[in-house]
Structure 1
């Protein structure tokens, strides 16, 4: 569908020019960028929560659930990397977040609570609203759950669970992440039904303090779960299981390192990258510099390297490198890492390399899981008093048992992305349908584009995508 087709849409039948499905970080940043651009446009953001800008990640209210990047890395303004640092400086000076002094760090290096980061995003959206109002633009939060979408020559029609329908010239999928712990699965072993939410401190407080807790997954969600247990007063044993038994490294603040990938564009394939990165890390350590310094320079090149790789190379990376990449790259905030290390040193928390096989029936009122330890051919039964699913994010939309992604797939409006990670789209965010055609009316940004760019969930990635997509939409004759 061409720009001419977009121009033929009937403005009289629209509720808005832009419908944004999802009002977490991705949706809020896109709305803010659109509001700042010249022109008049109505924007509707469909979000089931009562607030915009928080989503799954930033709705937590526990101070112990912090960002895993310091303030200098987490700006929502692509043109001002110090934006969060400036905001936090003002917020703390005004009496907000008095606990910040416990980190003993300058503001730029602070790891803010995720709930506070949500407040920051909301304030930046509110400021953009004021800018948009001066131009005649508006954004409206429609609280509800999107369940279906139809695309035709006149625009996009979005259906909500309560029967309401909204029409717009274009629609944007800003659905964010589907945490495995909170996402119904099409192929479920009943894990979520039996497991505690990793962020539900109140539910954990109801446990016997000495309860034996089993945790599936050893990434950053597990770190959050351990923080939740600690804040709930839990003092019993914690058993953590994941296929490779790898923990996230702690995020440190290394000095700047030369961008070796910018200096050598011949490095294109995963094996080349790994070889060069090892050399750079060894060189850094030989100079007494943290190995995280060279690794941090890779961040800005990930999208390019991933898009250049073949499907075979991507599969090799996911199968053989991904666990180590994520444990080294998706690092834990210092205070959380200190807690995990302390409990591990005390013997209260133990890490096991093994594959979760499913739930086991229990006659004593407790629960049990079936597990196969790494290197073993036999599975074993392990009993516990409580279970937490910390297996991370579900990126395969075909496995998400929610009405909206299922309907989009059934209608052929979207198709799975590379390696079934998210959905497929063009470089400008235009979504590919089941026939491989790029839509002129349906776009996406953020986590749904995981398969396109690999790292499409971090704040800086989403902020850059929001700015680019806003410019793309503003150029359409809506």
Structure 2
């Protein structure tokens, strides 16, 4: 998205995107190939164009009319309310980048895909110097850390419990087809990654028990399309603390339900204010939110697409899928052909052991760069070019995305956007969030 914004602006510039995958525009989330792995938001919420909220809806309309995604009729809703497969969203992102490339070419601007991993970055008064995994050295005027998310299931961790080595990838349907269809599968985590894992198991033909363990045992709510609600946060700027926010939000949700309106309507009005509320909060207030509110925030705000939610609800109703409030304490060695894990159930002091044929790590995203055992995050932290963000969420930066070094000074050449700025804005992962950041950062870099 940043490359597309840079290419659309007047002037001549060269953009290098360092990405080990074979294609640009897909990243971690949109490299999925199974039709059952859909977006968590409907088309009206997922435009990559910050100036046109209907951009994806318009693209999908043309795509479906041309014969693409014939299964779309199964959702039986207007195109704006469809939840497209992530692989199709990746096609959309790639096409919008290609269009930006064509426009940029008129000004002499180019974008080049360097298929490698960035492993080191240094910055001086004149330039930034990048080292790649193949030994290549690159130099530029600016570097932008658009690293996206580090899924816990696919991210080597510096303090590893060995969980990933023993676990199946939540999106690896082929590996799941190797399981006994009637076997018991254990899943750590009950958020949206767990929902994806259940979809993967279903598509792989698994029909056995699924045991899900998370600290609070909360499932994501299903995403619905509620009507508009009054923007109560715009009308009352005195609401500043998590406690005030939760009290007022509950009041509006109760009022909505009393009027026969979906409680998700008041919740969705908060979207535009999350960054402001989080940014102006004190560290104490942020810690209170993370410790006491976060699990419920995640389950209510990061909601599941309807088809996936229907599958989870059906399996839960059949008794095949069970949710347990329990903390993962480690792997138990010597489990033979299966896997055994040590758990402490919520409210109990003693641990217990649970066994199954396979284990899936669905514990979500690793935002703490100190725990991510990838070369670039480790080198940036070691060199002091970046420092952990608030509450160790991502990295610290100024409002314009300029990263803060260990000395607290803002870099004039290294910037960040998207999930690395989680500590700055709390919600910094959604497509619309990143699209707005891309537009602002592109303008800043061109200046």
SS in 2 for 1:471: helix
Q: Once the 2 structures are TM-superposed, how far is the Cα of residue 211 of structure 1 from its aligned partner?
A: 1.2
Alignment partners' CA distance in 2, 1:266 and 1:126 = 45
Counterpart for residue 357 of structure 1:
329
Counterpart for residue 167 of structure 1:
139
Q: Once the 2 structures are TM-superposed, how far is the Cα of residue 367 of structure 1 from its aligned partner?
A: 1.1
Matched, 1:345 2:349: no
Q: Once the 2 structures are TM-superposed, how far is the Cα of residue 268 of structure 1 from its aligned partner?
A: 1.2
Counterpart for residue 427 of structure 1:
399
Counterpart for residue 409 of structure 2:
437
Of 32, 37, 47, the residue aligned with 1:75 is 47
1:175-214 map, 5 Å: 175-214=147-186
Of 109, 126, 145, the residue aligned with 1:154 is 126
Q: What TM-score, normalized to structure 1?
A: 0.93
RMSD: 0.5
Matched, 1:111 2:83: yes
Q: Which moved more, 1:461-470 or 1:261-270?
A: 261-270
Of 211, 215, 240, the residue aligned with 2:212 is 240
Q: Once the 2 structures are TM-superposed, how far is the Cα of residue 48 of structure 1 from its aligned partner?
A: 0.3
Alignment partners' CA distance in 2, 1:424 and 1:361 = 39
Of 29, 41, 47, the residue aligned with 2:19 is 47
Q: Once the 2 structures are TM-superposed, how far is the Cα of residue 364 of structure 1 from its aligned partner?
A: 3.0
SS in 2 for 1:52: coil
Alignment size in residue pairs:
447
SS in 1 for 2:330: strand
Of 32, 45, 67, the residue aligned with 1:60 is 32
Alignment partners' CA distance in 2, 1:60 and 1:367 = 26
Name stretches of at least 5 consecutive residues in structure 1 with no aligned partner. 1-28
Of 328, 332, 353, the residue aligned with 2:300 is 328
Of 306, 309, 325, the residue aligned with 2:281 is 309
Q: Once the 2 structures are TM-superposed, how far is the Cα of residue 365 of structure 1 from its aligned partner?
A: 2.0
Name stretches of at least 5 consecutive residues in structure 2 with no aligned partner. none
Q: What TM-score, normalized to structure 2?
A: 1.00
Alignment partners' CA distance in 1, 2:54 and 2:84 = 14
Of 417, 423, 438, the residue aligned with 1:451 is 423
SS in 2 for 1:150: strand
SS in 1 for 2:142: strand
Alignment partners' CA distance in 2, 1:240 and 1:144 = 36
Per-residue CA deviation, residues 102-137 of structure 1 (Å, 9 max, x unaligned), is 001100000010110011000000000001000110
Counterpart for residue 17 of structure 1:
none
Q: Once the 2 structures are TM-superposed, how far is the Cα of residue 363 of structure 1 from its aligned partner?
A: 4.5
Matched, 1:134 2:115: no
Q: Once the 2 structures are TM-superposed, how far is the Cα of residue 306 of structure 1 from its aligned partner?
A: 0.0
SS in 1 for 2:134: coil
Alignment partners' CA distance in 2, 1:274 and 1:114 = 33
Alignment partners' CA distance in 1, 2:153 and 2:48 = 26
Per-residue CA deviation, residues 396-430 of structure 1 (Å, 9 max, x unaligned), is 00000111100000000000000000000000000
Matched, 1:409 2:381: yes
Counterpart for residue 93 of structure 2:
121
